[in-house]
Chain A
């Protein structure tokens, strides 16, 4: 429901904004170009979503993999370290990660992707460990007793039971990425942050409003959609 409303809002903005030059001109009469036009809003949104999807996919692959390794018997000794890194990493603001990525990869989409992926790993990793840790011990004991192999047990029992918390991590990761990708346009990535940054630099409040409205609607949509997925995954479990 919430997902449908947010999506409708986003689509409405994408349809209406390109035709809103007159309104923004009325509001800011001394600005010569009241409507951002370097890229279409649709192209900006696509590029923004693409960056978020790519970064979140990398984050899920790495975070899930590390979380699984850290909770296996062989990797148990790593668990406290991994957990500490995950917690400390979470306290570093995403902008700082972005700032560190630029000297490594130059300007453009690449440093933004790296920053988003790196930062996005942490919630997925943390939630994977939480989820796998809270699978009831009797369930694991019974699975062993009935002859599940280690991988089979992971795939058939542990991951399905940890899916709820893991999905929470994926959602957090995606939401942080939506916000951070906006800042990514400051280092040259083409995102919905581009009108915002250009508006701030060129003293054009109209651009800032246009970018912000779209980013807000996109964040709401992605959060609501992933929350719906999460509820579906947690269904049937008390």
Chain B
């Protein structure tokens, strides 16, 4: 659990974080989203004390981070950044083993953990562990960056636009990997991005930050359906918000249970966006829905257009 309690931060004359309070639950995937300069990265860095707060408290499981030894604190928190910052003089395996080594894990445990992470992040082609960072593609480097952040099994991971510099396909694949890992391990993730689609795709909850303050905190659907004010409405995309919503909601929650339809079925786990795509490509306005290979209902175009959850 991470708590921000009336946090203030200014750089010189400029107020960067203005009396911000927020509580992030254990095991939650929380995304801070906002334009450049909104203070979201600064807020993230107050958690591992790369940025000290001017006033207020940041607490992890009830303990004020300012009272902890900075190095011990940081070794207990995963950290991944957009520029990755892999050590160019160290191999992939050595990069991943950074924090376990700082924590003096026994060598056989480090080796086992490194191998586990290489496969978890789909870096398992032969010889990958002994390659140097400059021989990797951008996507591979960021996978190593994420593996390095997860290496010592931290309960909290901070991620500052980790996928911002990647092409869309690589980004989607990494987002899926990260989401799956987070679900399996129950790690608390605080993730910063300026990309609304990324925020809605990843976050259990999303906090929209503007000018050093949180304008609205809630589930992706909360922000889409009930924007707190015009600034939120603009940021979530105005009329395009409804399109975003299709990406967030699933077929299973919006189908007509038990009804029949012709055509190639869509999965109940798929998003409404996928379902709409399937309707367009098949030229139909209703499609069958399947779950574990069984037909369970139908999804209807009229419902996508009219329904509000």
Q: Are B89 and A136 in touch, CB under 8 angstroms?
A: no
Q: Determine which residue in B50, B76, B83, B84 has the highest number of CB atoms from chain A within 10 A of its CB, and name it.
A: B83
Give which listed residue, A139, A152, A160, contacts B86 with CB less than 8 A: A139
Residue of A at shortest CB range from B76?
A147
Answer yes or no: A138 CB below 8 A from chain B CBs: yes
Proximity string of chain B (57-90) to chain A, C-beta cutoff 8 Å, 1 when within and 0 when not:
0000000000000111111100101011111110
Q: Are A147 and B89 in touch, CB under 8 angstroms?
A: no
Cβ distance A138 to chain B, nearest Cβ, rounded Å: 4
Q: Are B84 and A142 in touch, CB under 8 angstroms?
A: yes
Give which listed residue, B70, B75, B85, contacts A142 with CB less than 8 A: B85
- The verdict on A237 contacting B81 (CB below 8 Å), with A144-B74, A146-B75 known, is no
Q: Are A236 and B79 in touch, CB under 8 angstroms?
A: no
Answer yes or no: B99 CB below 8 A from chain A CBs: yes
- The verdict on A236 contacting B87 (CB below 8 Å), with A145-B50, A146-B79 known, is no
Proximity string of chain A (206-238) to chain B, C-beta cutoff 8 Å, 1 when within and 0 when not:
000000000000000000000000000000111
- The verdict on A237 contacting B88 (CB below 8 Å), with A146-B74, A147-B102 known, is yes
Answer yes or no: B188 CB below 8 A from chain A CBs: no
Binding site for B on A (CB under 8 A): 136, 138-149, 152, 157, 160-161, 236-238
Answer yes or no: B23 CB below 8 A from chain A CBs: no
Q: What's the Cα separation between A140 and B85 when bound, in Å?
A: 7
Q: Are B134 and A238 in touch, CB under 8 angstroms?
A: yes
Jot down 13 A-B pairs with beta carbons below 8 A, ordered by A: A141-B81, A142-B79, A142-B84, A145-B48, A145-B81, A146-B148, A147-B71, A147-B72, A147-B74, A148-B71, A148-B102, A237-B132, A238-B88
Residue of B at shortest CB range from A160?
B89
Q: A138 to chain B: which residues have CB within 8 Å?
A: 81, 83-85
Q: What's the Cα separation between A143 and B158 when bound, in Å?
A: 14
Q: What's the Cα separation between A140 and B86 when bound, in Å?
A: 10
Q: What's the Cα separation between A139 and B79 when bound, in Å?
A: 12
Q: Determine which residue in A141, A147, A149, A160 has the highest number of CB atoms from chain B within 10 A of its CB, and name it.
A: A147
Q: What DSSP secondary structure best describes chain A's contact surface?
A: helix
Q: A141-B50, A145-B158, A236-B88 are in contact. List 8 more A-B contacts (CB 8 A).
A: A141-B81, A145-B48, A146-B79, A147-B71, A148-B102, A161-B88, A237-B88, A238-B134
Answer yes or no: B273 CB below 8 A from chain A CBs: no
Cβ distance A238 to chain B, nearest Cβ, rounded Å: 4
Q: What's the Cα separation between A233 and B6 when bound, in Å?
A: 49
Q: Are A145 and B79 in touch, CB under 8 angstroms?
A: yes
Q: What's the Cα separation between A152 and B75 when bound, in Å?
A: 13
Q: A237 to chain B: which residues have CB within 8 Å?
A: 88-89, 132, 134
Q: What's the Cα separation between A138 and B133 when bound, in Å?
A: 14
Q: Are A142 and B71 in touch, CB under 8 angstroms?
A: no
Q: A146 to chain B: which residues have CB within 8 Å?
A: 74-75, 79, 98-99, 102, 148
Residue of A at shortest CB range from B75?
A147
Cβ distance B171 to chain A, nearest Cβ, rounded Å: 19
Cβ distance B52 to chain A, nearest Cβ, rounded Å: 13
Q: A236 to chain B: which residues have CB within 8 Å?
A: 88-89, 132
- The verdict on A157 contacting B79 (CB below 8 Å), with A147-B74, A149-B71 known, is no
Q: B73 to chain A: which residues have CB within 8 Å?
A: 147
